[in-house]
């Protein structure tokens, strides 16, 4: 039997990236959290950095949702489970509201969530109202409840925008160009939350004050969320002890992935390739993505960990390495300044950081035993001296995706895997059936 829960919800979208969606979503979350409300946030698309920021703002883990990568049934159940305990559900969109297939607008429409448009209104006035009106009316099925004007210069600037908006598209709030609430960035997006945790607290609280006198201080209307009654995942990892690299260099880990691993019976043991000299006693390893290029010297200096990981690899036990973890498995890493650092050497090759270029987009990993969905997002270029066993498949065009390498028990690629898209293949990867 399908059950329904009503919960206030708002989907934060924008005309493009860089408009301030994360800053505004965090501000709304922190304001309502300070009022004693339970706030649950979801992030549209395959993003690692924004969810770290939003988790700290809301006090709860942030789940990534995408209709292509995760599927409608998974998304539906995630919303329903959150609505059981939440006083407010927020969703931060990706890129522009109509960008991608499926887009943020597609996700919002599919689940009946009203949208608020965040727009950087610097250097425009009435034009901001025109753009917002066009976005709100581009499709007949979208529900846009108002505009949030970001980087507003003055009261007069705000008045010009507000007067130009149609009655059905009100101004919900405005935010000044305030360095006290903006979030610092680096080449792949925002700086990781754990690097600036105390500073973020100050920014969140300042941003919450900006919300207090606006319409965003009120709870949005309730949205009905419905149960999907998904079957529990099979216990295919019962008894498996899985080591997961997690530190300053490796932190791109979907909560959905670790939750699935535990639900399938795995026992998770975290270790630091930077700080630890020995691996935990485990049967398999997962080296996720992150920023190894920012910590290349520390990774290179930890020769004790190198020896541990090289011995693990030689034993033939399973290792799954994604993006930054894949770079760590290569022989060398070359940073933007041209400095070269020795890495693990599990695969013969080199990763070279680039100022521009790289890859971003959804891809399917195709292995002999099945398919799993994921995405790639990187600025480095890897040259590997062995032949790949397969290439990722892009959903929108025919060009080959990222190379996938297998040697002994190692499966390595730039692709970040979304484990819930293929639980049986996850089990095969970590139990060695793909080796």
Cα(13)–Cα(147) distance, integer angstroms:
10
- Inter-residue contact 79 to 91 (CB < 8 Å): no
Of the candidates 316, 345, 318, the one whose C-alpha atom is nearest the C-alpha of residue 329 is 345
Q: Which of 7, 152, 323, 406 is catalytic?
A: 323
Active site residue 359: no
Residues linked to residue 257 through DSSP beta bridges, in sequence order: none
The H or E element spanning position 410 is strand 410-413
Cα(412)–Cα(405) distance, integer angstroms:
5
Q: In the chain, what is the straight-line distance between the N-terminal and C-terminal CA atoms, in Å? A: 42
- Inter-residue contact 237 to 431 (CB < 8 Å): yes
Q: Strand 347-353 to strand 185-186: parallel, antiparallel, or no bridges (unpaired)? A: unpaired
Of the candidates 242, 168, 196, the one whose C-alpha atom is nearest the C-alpha of residue 57 is 196
Peptide bond into 198 cis (omega under 30): no
Of the candidates 74, 57, 64, the one whose C-alpha atom is nearest the C-alpha of residue 23 is 57
Q: Which residues are known to be catalytic?
A: 323
């Amino acid at each position: 039997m399908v059950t329904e829960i009503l919960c206030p919800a708002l989907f934060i979208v924008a005309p493009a990236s860089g408009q301030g969606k994360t800053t505004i979503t965090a501000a709304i979350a922190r304001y309502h959290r300070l009022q004693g409300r339970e706030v649950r946030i979801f992030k549209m698309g395959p993003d690692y950095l924004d969810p770290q920021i939003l988790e700290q703002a809301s006090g709860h883990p942030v789940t990534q949702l995408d209709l292509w990568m995760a599927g409608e049934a998974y998304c539906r159940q995630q919303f329903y489970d959150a609505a059981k305990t939440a006083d407010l559900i927020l969703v931060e969109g990706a890129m522009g509201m109509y960008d991608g297939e499926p887009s943020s607008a597609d996700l919002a429409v599919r689940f009946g969530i009203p949208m608020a448009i965040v727009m950087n209104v610097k250097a425009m006035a009435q034009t901001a109202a025109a753009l917002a009106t066009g976005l709100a009316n581009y499709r007949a099925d979208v529900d846009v409840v108002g505009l949030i004007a970001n980087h507003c210069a003055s009261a007069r600037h705000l008045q010009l925008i507000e007067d130009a908006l149609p009655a059905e598209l009100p101004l919900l709030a405005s935010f000044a160009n305030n360095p006290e609430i903006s979030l610092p960035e680096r080449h792949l997006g925002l700086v990781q939350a754990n690097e600036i945790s105390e500073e973020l607290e100050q920014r969140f609280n300042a941003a919450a004050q900006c919300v207090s006198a606006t319409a965003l201080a009120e709870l949005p209307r309730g949205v009905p969320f419905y149960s999907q009654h998904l079957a529990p995942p099979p216990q295919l990892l019962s008894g498996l002890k899985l080591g997961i690299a997690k530190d300053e260099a490796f932190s791109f880990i979907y909560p959905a992935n670790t939750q699935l691993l535990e639900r399938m019976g795995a026992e998770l043991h975290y270790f630091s390739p930077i700080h630890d000299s020995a691996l935990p006693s485990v049967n398999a390893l997962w080296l996720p993505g992150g920023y190894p290029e920012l910590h290349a010297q520390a990774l290179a200096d930890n020769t004790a960990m190198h020896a541990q990981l090289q011995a693990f690899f030689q034993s033939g036990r399973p290792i799954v390495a994604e993006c930054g973890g894949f770079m760590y498995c290569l022989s060398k890493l070359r940073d933007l300044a041209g400095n070269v650092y020795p890495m693990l050497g599990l695969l013969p090759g080199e990763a070279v950081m680039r100022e521009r270029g790289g890859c971003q987009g959804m891809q399917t990993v195709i292995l002999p035993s099945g398919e799993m969905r994921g995405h790639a997002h990187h600025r480095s270029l890897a040259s590997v001296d062995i032949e790949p066993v397969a290439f990722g498949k892009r959903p929108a065009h025919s060009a080959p995706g990222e190379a996938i390498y297998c040697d002994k028990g190692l499966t390595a690629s730039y692709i970040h895997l979304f484990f819930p898209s293929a639980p049986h293949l996850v089990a095969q990867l970590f139990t060695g059936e793909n080796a």
